[in-house]
Amino acid sequence: MISPVIPANEEKRLDSIKDLDIIGSLPEETYDSITKLASAICETPIALITILDKEINWFKSKVGTSIEKSEREISFCGHAILEPQKLFEVPNTLKDERFKDNPLSIAKEGAIRFYAGAPILDEEGLPLGTLCVLDSKEHHLSDAQKTALKALAKQVEVLFNYRRKNKELEKLKDDLDENNRILREFASTVSHDLKMPLANMIITADILKAKYSGNLDEEGIKYLNYLKQSGLTLSDYINGLLDYYSSNVEANREQEFFLNDLLEDIIDLLNIAENCEINLPDNNLKIYGNSAAVGQIFMNLINNSLKYNSNEKIVIDIDCTENREFFNFSVKDNGIGIPTSKHEEIFELFTTATDSDRQGKKGHGIGLSTVKKLVGSLGGFINVTSEKGEGTCFDFSIKRYIQ
């Protein structure tokens, strides 16, 4: 018996196998279907997808055997990977100097007489293992069978590449989740640490105004009002950040609620002025989803329609439709509109479309970024139709969930 030599690129090859992280993984139908095809096409009782590690030859998929691995030094695959661009075929192992006294060839039961293996390569051309077929008697593959075996090995390579990319995406998701967790903790900490001093500042401004207004001139009163308003603005800003980083639409998602009932509750909370007309949908749509998240979306959009409107009478039209996959909504107003050049950037955090709202206050650019985040988390999308001075219409959808 001649044991397979170690390839010159062995260290890089083993690093690639380690990065693939497939040894010891559970059986998968996508791989098993390939070994079944290889066995049927090549007319052999055994077919394997192997990974040749440092000391073992491990079988990711197998047909015709219950063995899960073999020692590398007696493996046929160890020889096959030495010429990674060629199909390695041994018609009769007893007639080959390398294998005639190999334990696998002379075993009392299940002896291997025939082997053919197509190396499986990574994206850099490093051989990781083989797609191989085996028989207990002498066998010869036709040219068509050889071509098919090599083509199936290419499919395994595609699956391996998908596995690597999925691992990269999972790692990226884990990193993003961790970053979001840190940001949520940071937002919560900042909110907790700043809310009390801000509350004290606002209350102190009110006390000073109530107790000493008689001793202050008009400019002094103006400064106190400015101090209080600054505190309130900063408080709103902190609350917005906290809402953005702590929103979790997965919790309590599966709820049944009626859209118009939800909208009426929101209108009550916003304390709508008499000069505002809000037209609700004609159909009180029954929705199965996350009422808290949908409510937060409508709260932000309706509030924006109120704030960014210079007309004597504010008109807001809300509509909804449904199809097999989505609930579709729209919030349209007669407000100041949004320049076309800013349609994309208004959904970015800390970005505003205008310098100030109806009351002259500058926005913080958190509301619409929160809305987009919530809509995306609900499996939907959002877009805006607007021109400066012509009003604004936000269309958004959420994915339907089967009850």
Distance CA 322, CA 380 (A): 13
- Check residue 220 and give its pLDDT: 85
Domains of the chain plus CATH, in order, are 10-164 (3.30.450.40), 249-403 (3.30.565.10)
Q: DSSP labels for 171-204?
A: HHHHHHHHHHHHHHHHHHHHHHHHHHHHHHHHHH
Q: Which of 87-91, 206-210, 289-293 has the lowest mean pLDDT?
A: 289-293
Which is higher by pLDDT, 185 or 119? 119
Residue 264 and residue 281: Cα distance in Å, rounded? 11
Beta carbons of 115 and 65 less than 8 angstroms apart: no
Confirm if 305 and 314 have CB atoms less than 8 A apart. yes
Task: Extract the tokens encoding 334.
Answer: 């007669």
Residue with tokens 């979001």: 180
> Tens of pLDDT along 26-82?
999 999 999 999 999 999 999 999 999 999 999 999 999 999 999 999 999 999 999
Beta strand spans in 31-111 (E): 46-52, 56-63, 69-71, 88-90
Q: What is the reported pTM?
A: 0.54
Q: What is the C-alpha separation between 360 and 87, in angstroms, rounded? A: 76
| Range scoring the smallest mean pLDDT among 78-82, 94-98, 220-224 | 220-224
Report percent pLDDT > 90 for the chain. Answer: 50
Whether pLDDT at 166 is above 70 = yes
Q: What is the pLDDT at residue 341?
A: 81
Q: Mean of the pLDDT values across residues 268-281?
A: 82
- Tell me what the mean pLDDT of segment 220-237 comes to: 77
Residue 401 confidence (pLDDT) above 80? no
Q: What is the pLDDT of residue 382?
A: 93
The reported pLDDT for the residue numbered 126 is 96
Q: Which of 172-176, 179-183, 251-255, 267-271 has the least mean pLDDT?
A: 251-255
> For residue 101, what pLDDT is reported?
92
Helices 259-270 and 291-307 pack at an angle, to 10 degrees, of 50
Question: Torsion angle, CA of 201/203/209/215, rounded to 10 degrees?
Answer: -60
Residue 89 CB: number of other CB atoms within 10 A?
Answer: 18
Region 159-186: mean pLDDT is: 83
**Is residue 180 predicted with pLDDT exceeding 80?**
no
